[in-house]
Amino acid sequence: MAAAIHAESARPGPFVACNCGAVPPDLLTSQLFGHERGSFTGANARHVGLFEQAQGGTLFLDEIGEMPAHLQVHLLRALETRHIRRVGGSEDIHLDVRIVSATNRPHADAISTGRLREDLYYRLAEFPMSVPPLRDRPMDILPIAQLFLDRLNRRCGTARVLTREGADRLRRYRWPGNIRELKNIIQRAYILADGDLVTPGLPVEDPGPSAETASSITFVVGTPLHEIERRMLFKTLAYFDNNKAKAAQVLGIATKTLYNRLNSYQAAPAGPPALDDGDDEGNDPAAETAGIGDTGENHGDHA
């Protein structure tokens, strides 16, 4: 996005990017502002920092919330004054640079936890933009995938194309890793392609529990048997409008057994109900629950 903003602008200078979380904190000051020869141990020559390298163009500060707090003060001063000074230098250098910054954290959280200075945020947020995750903008998936594939073709002098099956796979996938994941998958598919046809292979996603309907029920592996039985009984009763005879018929148990189960769930709320083979048709349903000890339901954990 930052590169696209720069490409569509009229600024003649270069696009320069810096991942603030990838540079060691003790080197980031020199990376951004530059340093003079002899300003610290190992500074054997003058170094022109990224601000100067981006003169007339755009400096993209990615993961701005990972920048050390003390360096955020220097950045705020540079934005306010439009001047920087190299480490160990004595002269101010005027800046003509557009700053684009990004973070993957909600800015309110970054500010409240002290990772991002509030005054720096409001200085940077001249024109804030929120980019939704890739799964929320499915119309962008194929154009971005094609962009990555075109770049590989130009670099390697090939003319490989995305297959229809591959395009369908890309559209259906939920992209937890967003554009970085899409780029890696296209590159991997390009390397493994058989000829000029590229069909990306995607990770197998955990679909999670299926949504229940009026006529279906879902159980997570490991659900206790008595809990499965309890939920199945009540689901079946609900499906047949509480018609106990019909519910017992489709469940393959005697109507008396169904009454026994219902009474056990209501009478003793701790532990699984006692098993009932349904052969004692002549007994009173209420009487049968009197001998049940520590019974009831255990809801367990459900996804």
- Residues 113 and 143 reside in one and the same domain: no
Q: Are residues 245 and 279 in the same domain?
A: yes
Question: Domain range for residue 47?
Answer: 2-124
Residue that is last in its domain, among 97, 124, 151: 124
Whether residues 238 and 279 fall in one domain: yes
- Sequence-distant (6+) residues with CB within 8 A of 234 are none
| Pair (120, 24) in one structural domain | yes
Regarding whether 117 and 54 lie in a shared domain, the answer is yes
Final residue of a structural domain among 70, 90, 124: 124
Q: Give the type of residue at 170.
A: L
Phi then psi dihedrals of residue 150, to 5 deg: -60, -40
Q: Residue type for 71, please? A: L
Kindly tell me the burial class for residue 127, based on how many C-beta atoms sit within 10 Å of its own C-beta (0-12, 13-18, 19 or more). Answer: exposed
The answer to whether residue 297 sits within a structural domain is no
What is the tens place of the pLDDT at every residue in 3-48?
888 999 989 999 999 999 888 888 888 999 999 988 888 888 889 9
Q: pLDDT tens, 256-269?
A: 999 988 888 876 54
Out of 159, 179, 198, a domain closes at 198
Verify that 105 and 140 share a domain, yes or no: no
Same domain membership, residue 147 and residue 36 = no
* Pair (45, 105) in one structural domain: yes
Asked whether residue 295 carries a pLDDT value surpassing 50, the answer given is: no
Judgement on whether residues 76 and 116 belong to the same structural domain of the protein? yes
Tokens standing for residue 138: 């499915």
- Containing 198, the helix (H) or strand (E) segment is strand 197-198
User: Which of the four pLDDT bands, split at 50, 70 and 90, describes residue 52?
Assistant: very high
**DSSP string computed for 122-176:** HHHTTS------GGG-GGGHHHHHHHHHHHHHHHHT---EE-HHHHHHHHH---T
Q: Which residues contact 141 (CB under 8 A, 6 or more apart)?
A: 134, 170, 171, 175, 182
The reply to whether 117 and 148 lie within a common domain is no
pLDDT reported for residue 19: 92
Q: What is the rounded average pLDDT of the residues 171-191?
A: 93
Q: Do both 51 and 148 map to the same domain?
A: no
CATH number for position 171? 1.10.8.60
What's the total number of domains in the chain? Answer: 3
CA-wise closest residue to 118 among 76, 79, 59: 76
For residue 2, what is the enclosing H or E element? helix 2-7
